[in-house]
Amino acid sequence: MKNVKVVIGANFGDEGKGLMTDYFCSQAPPNEKVLNVRFNGGAQAGHTVVAPDGRRHIFSHFGAGSFLSNVATYLGPEYIINPILFRREYERLEKLGVIPMIYCHPRCLITFPQDMMVNQFIEKRRGTDRHGSCGIGIFETLLRSRKDSDISASTLTVLGMKHCQIDIDYYSNERVEKIFGVTLEQDEKALLINQNIRAHFNQDIKFFMDHVSFVDEKIFRHFNHVVFEGAQGLLLDQNNSAYFPHLTPSNTGIQNVVPYLDRSMDVEVCYVTRPYLTRHGAGKLPNECPREMTGAKPDLTNHINEWQGELRYGKLNVADLMKRCEDDIEPIYYFSKISYAVTHMDEALKSDLMPYSDDLYLSYGPCRTNVKKLFGEDDDINRSD
C-alpha cells in the first residue's frame, strides 16, 4: 500500500512545514525511495530545516526532506519555477554536500526577471498600502501566463531558450500602465530591456534544464512513500475572501493534492501550527499582540526585510484552527486521517491549548529528532474542548 503524508500549514505560514516534511520523509525505511512533492506556490516559500548533524538550509525549490539521500523532489504542475533562484539554491545545497534529485512537471510555469522587477516596482509604489508581496514575481507570472500560455517548463525543452523571451511592451504598456495606471520611470524601463540580465537568465534556464528531469504524473507509480509539502497556510489561500487582498495566489490546502489520492492509499493529512499565530507581511492578524505575550523567542529565519517587514505575532484560537482544517480535509475525509503538529513547543505557555487528534506531533526544537508523536490516549498535555 502506498504511504502518503500531506503537510499543510494551518495558519499564515511559518508554522514549521519544513520540519514536519523532513520528519515524515525520515520515517520511511532508508533503503526505500521517497518522493517529496512541492504542490503549490513557488520560490517565495522558505522552509527551514536543521539536520541532525547541524546543517541548516531554507528550502524553496527543493523538498524539505532533501538532506536525506533517499528523497527526491517533484515540482508538481501548480509549482512556479524561478530559474534564477533555483540555480542559487542548488549551488548552496552543493556546498552543504547535497546533490538534489529533481523531477519537474512539464506544466510548471516559469518566472522571468521582468516578472520580479514589475512585482517590485508596483509593490514599492503602494507605500503603506503594500500587499505584503515577497517581490519574487509569483502573481506577475500567473498574470502573464494568461497571455503567454505557451511558456512553461515544457517550452524550455521543446522550443528552446530563444523562444522564451518576453514581449517587453506587455510590461511597459499593457501590464503596468493600462492595468495599474502606473507609468514606469526611465531607469525601470532600462532594467526591463537590459540585455545583460537577459543573457544571464538564459544561463540560468540552461542550468535548470541540465539539472531536472521532466515527467508527468506517472512518476507516482515508482514511489511507495510520498510526502506532499504545502507552502504558505490555509488563511492565505487565494479563495479566503475574508483576508483579501493580502493573500497568496495559490491553493494552500488539500485541493491541489486531491487528484493524486484514492482509497487504496494510506493517507494522513497533517496540519501544522505553532502554539501561537504568526504572520509575515501586511493584512489582518487575529488577536495580534507583542511577541513577548506569546512566549515566542526571536525568530532565526524571518528577519526584517524590505518586502514584508518583521514577523508579527498573535494568540491562537484552537477551535477556529480545527474548524478550518476539518473543512479543508472534508473532500477526502472518508478515506484519510487527520493529524496535527505543534512546533515550537519549547515556547508554549502553560495556558496554551492543543488541538485534539488521534495523532498529535509535538516538536520541542528545530530538528526532526525533536519531534514526538502522541496518540489519542495520551492526556499529559492541555487539549481543546
Residue 336 pLDDT? 97
User: CB under 8 Å to 281, separation ≥6 — which residues?
Assistant: 130, 131, 132, 133, 134, 246, 307, 308, 309
* pLDDT tens-digit series, residues 52-95: 999 999 999 999 999 999 999 999 999 999 999 999 999 999 99
Residue 385 pLDDT? 45
Q: Which range among 139-153, 289-303, 362-376 has the greatest average pLDDT? A: 362-376
Task: Check if CATH label 3.40.440.10 holds for domain 3-105+215-375.
Answer: yes
pLDDT band at 14 (very low <50, low <70, confident <90, very high): very high
Q: Which residue did the predictor score with more confidence, 167 or 377?
A: 167
Residue 231 pLDDT? 96
Which has the closest alpha carbon to 103: 63, 139, 65? 63
In terms of C-beta density within 10 A (0-12 exposed, 13-18 middle, 19 or more buried), how is residue 70 classed?
middle
pLDDT of 350 strictly over 50: yes
Residues 134 and 116: beta-carbon distance below 8 Å: no
* pLDDT tens-digit series, residues 152-167: 776 665 545 455 555 6
pLDDT band at 169 (very low <50, low <70, confident <90, very high): low
Q: What mean pLDDT comes out for the span 214-232?
A: 96
Residues 235 and 243: beta-carbon distance below 8 Å: yes
239 sits in which H/E element = none
Residue 215 pLDDT? 95
Q: What mean pLDDT comes out for the span 230-243?
A: 96
Share of the chain above pLDDT 90, in %: 63
pLDDT of 380 strictly over 70: no
- The position carrying cell 514575481 is 137
What is the 8-class DSSP label of residue 367? B
pLDDT band at 121 (very low <50, low <70, confident <90, very high): confident
Among 184-188, 247-251, 258-262, the minimum mean pLDDT is found in 184-188
Can you give the pTM of this predicted structure? 0.92
Residue 57 pLDDT? 97
Q: How far apart are CA 72 and CA 65, in angstroms?
A: 8
pLDDT band at 243 (very low <50, low <70, confident <90, very high): very high
pLDDT of 315 strictly over 90: yes
Q: What mean pLDDT comes out for the span 253-257?
A: 98
Domain borders along the chain are: 3-105+215-375, 109-211
Q: Which range among 37-51, 110-124, 190-204 has the greatest average pLDDT? A: 37-51
186: amino acid identity, one letter = Q
Distance of CA 253 to the CA centre of its chain: 11
Angstrom distances, CA of residue 178 to CA of 170, 171, 173, 181, 249 = 10, 10, 6, 5, 21
| 195-211 and 113-126 helices, crossing angle to 10° | 120
Among 96-110, 145-159, 194-208, 224-238, the minimum mean pLDDT is found in 145-159
Q: What mean pLDDT comes out for the span 169-191?
A: 71
256: amino acid identity, one letter = N
Q: How far apart are CA 343 and CA 153, in angstroms?
A: 35
Instruction: Return mean pLDDT, the chain.
Output: 88
